[in-house]
Chains A and B, each alone.
Chain A
Amino acid sequence: MRLSAVVGLGTVFLATLAMAQGGKDQRRSGYQDMSPALQRMQDDDTANPAMLYVQAGEALWKQKAGASNKACVDCHDAGSMKGVAARYPAIPSGADKPVDLEGRINLCRTGQQKAAPFDAESEELLDLAAYVARQSRGMPIAPADDPRLASFRAHGEQLFKERQGQLNLSCANCHDDNAGKKLGGATIPQAHPTGYPIYRLEWQALGSLKRRLRNCLIGLRAEPYDYSSPEYVDLELYLMDRARGMTIDAPAVRP
């Protein structure tokens, strides 16, 4: 009797709590978990080191390349990539598999410019990705409404929640269950990909979401997928959906 009363009260309390939080977004981007000094560094375009790469990307955008001797700007006006980073990964026309932003850039490179694709994580690819992503800064993440993406996204979610590696942990174990707590000296972020490619101070360089995911996989003592693996794209699809509506702050600075 007393027990059920307690349980009943508990339920009422939980319901009130849920109501009080109703509609309020509990999601936090990595930006909100950074120190004010780092936030200022990111916000100041002349202090954010990622802007060096954006500058290089802008130059590359105008540089002719490949057998067709075309530059990106010959098809896409400078600044016409607004919103693209907020939407990707997506399935390009004529294809049946999703590609991420870097993959899309390389598709243009091989298909339109008739040039060799950039290597994964190469400086040129990151430069261009940063230049494109910068144009979506301030926009809400809005994944493509393509029904064909659903199965890939579901696979991404499965990967996110699947235990792996010698430590037998899933992404969700840290980033869903224990986000906000500490791992070593660092705050565990909720893993929302709002700012990629990021300038990570630990790397002293710009890096893609793939590099960041590899970092976590190595941390789990799991074998990282190869850079060309579709797993990364599926995971990114799920993460972008999970972060739907959050603001893009690319290219971000992270500790």
Chain B
Amino acid sequence: MANVLINAPKTVRKGETIELKALILHPMETGFRPGANGQLIPRNIIEQFTATWNGVEIFRMKMSPAVAANPYVSFFAVAKESGTIRFQWTGDRNFSAEGSVMVTVT
């Protein structure tokens, strides 16, 4: 189970622009660093981050080895309807994590 922190307003007015912030615990190992034994530590990164609002994709980001550990992503969306915003991270070694928040649009 992955460890995620999500910050989104609980209630917003229709048409308002809101900021969504998502933080996840992940080593983001680049694959270029040698370990204590001199061998390269195999790459282990998150490759893709997506967010959907009631199933409709609102944000997608491709991550690279240059992204720091425990990546923090913040982006904006326009509130149209109440529902669930689902955040999804997928990456190397079949890594998959999910988090979601309920937002009420008034």
Q: Which residues of A come within 8 Å of B, CB atoms?
A: 44-47, 49, 51-53, 55-56, 204-205
Contacts and interface: CB of A to CB of B under 8 A. Distances in A.
B32 to A, nearest CB: 15
Contact of A204 (B3, B5, B23, B70): B70
A64 to B, nearest CB: 17
B72 A47 contact: yes
A248 B72 CA distance: 25
Interface string B13-30: 000000001011100100
A203 B92 CA distance: 22
Contacts of A55: 3, 5
Interface of B: 3-7, 21, 23-25, 28, 68-70, 72
A46 B7 contact: yes
Contacts of B24: 52
Nearest to A49: B70
Contact of A47 (B3, B21, B69): B21
Given A46-B6, A47-B23, A204-B69, 8 more contacts: A44-B7, A46-B5, A46-B21, A46-B23, A47-B72, A49-B70, A52-B5, A56-B3
A204 B21 CA distance: 19
B69 A52 contact: no
B29 to A, nearest CB: 10
B105 to A, nearest CB: 20
Contacts of B4: 52
Given A47-B7, A52-B3, A55-B5, A205 B23 contact: no
Given A46-B21, A47-B21, A204 B6 contact: no
Contacts of A44: 7
B7 A52 contact: no
A44 B74 CA distance: 13
Contacts of B25: 49, 52-53, 56
Contacts of A52: 3-5, 23-25, 70
A5 B71 CA distance: 64
Contacts of A53: 25
Nearest to A204: B69
A204 B7 contact: no
A84 to B, nearest CB: 23
Nearest to B72: A47
A44 B72 CA distance: 13
B61 to A, nearest CB: 17
5 contacts: A46-B6, A52-B3, A55-B3, A204-B28, A204-B70
Contacts of B6: 46
Nearest to B4: A52
Contacts of B21: 46-47
Nearest 9 A-B pairs (CB), nearest first? A46-B7, A204-B69, A52-B25, A49-B70, A46-B5, A52-B3, A56-B3, A204-B68, A55-B3
A51 B28 CA distance: 18
B100 to A, nearest CB: 14
Given A204-B69, A205-B69, A49 B3 contact: no
Contacts of A204: 28, 68-70
A187 B54 CA distance: 47
A47 B72 CA distance: 7
